[in-house]
Amino acid sequence: MNIDIVKNKIAINLGKKVIVTVYGMRNKINRYEGILYKLYPNIFTIINDGIEKSFSYNDYITGDIKLRFL
């Protein structure tokens, strides 16, 4: 998967609701639901209740996070 394809896929959904599932160490899974808020060259952010979380495009490519657009 190419990083430009990932950036375009995420950019198309800017301003929409998204669920981000983060697969961490020791089988720990965190889910964040919010609105796709800002895009930067290396990361993208979501916002929920005034709290902003950032994620890397590379994490999506490697499968460390999964995105589900609502």
5-28 pLDDT per residue, tens: 999 999 999 999 999 999 988 989
- pLDDT, average across residues 27-43: 94
Q: Please, which pLDDT band fits residue 1 given cuts at 50, 70 and 90?
A: confident
Q: What is the distance between the alpha carbons of residues 64 and 51, in angstroms, rounded to a whole number?
A: 21
For the whole model, what pTM was predicted?
A: 0.87
Q: What is the pLDDT of residues 47-67, one digit of tens each?
A: 998 999 999 999 999 999 999
Q: Hunting for tokens 């290396």 — which residue is that?
A: 42
* pLDDT higher than threshold 80 for residue 45: yes
- Structural domain including 16 reads 3-69
Name all contacts of 27-33 with Cβ < 8 Å and 24+ positions apart: none
pLDDT value of position 56? 94
Q: What is the distance between the alpha carbons of residues 37 and 39, in angstroms, rounded to a whole number?
A: 7
State the CATH number of the domain containing residue 52: 2.30.30.100
Count of structural domains within the chain: 1
